[in-house]
Structure 1
Amino acid sequence: MSEEPMFKFTTGSTSGVVRTGLLSLPNRQAIKTPHYLALASRGAIPHLTQDNVTKHTHICGAYMAAEDCKFVLSQQSLA
């Protein structure tokens, strides 16, 4: 049984310029690096409304802690 890796990171340039690369995750759009990943709190980026994030930024990823997903997961397990 072949197992697909959790993620793949490919580097572009390595010397003389900014180190660039591509972060690929299964079933997700690849993220060009360097890139900003927003820190989310309970699924939202603090101090920014959803419409402003969409309209004024190009953020394509966010980091959120696993405990922020606990409520959703517990609701799904009850169904």
Structure 2
Amino acid sequence: MNLQHDRISELCQGLKLERIGSDWSHLAQRAANGEASFADFLETLLSAEADARAERSRQTLLKMAAFPAVKTLEHYDFA
């Protein structure tokens, strides 16, 4: 990695943008190869971060709920 990659990674860590910090390089290269606009690249990057935050939030809420076990409809006794 070069110095700019390191600075971007540090900034993302400081701003708690974990997904952007790990995905930006790959997505930037993909956007450059596909000749995508900067707005398309930015939208994809921010979407990935939003999705990751939503998933972390769901996982945290599930842990905090302290459900006794995971149950599915197949295990439900309809009788």
Does TM, scored on the shorter chain, surpass 0.5?
A: no
Please report the TM-score for the alignment, with normalisation by the length of structure 2: 0.24
Please report the TM-score for the alignment, with normalisation by the length of structure 1: 0.24
Q: Look at both structures and tell me which one has the larger radius of gyration over its CA atoms.
A: 2
Higher RCO (CA < 8 A, seq sep 6+): 2
Higher strand share: 1
Higher helix share: 2
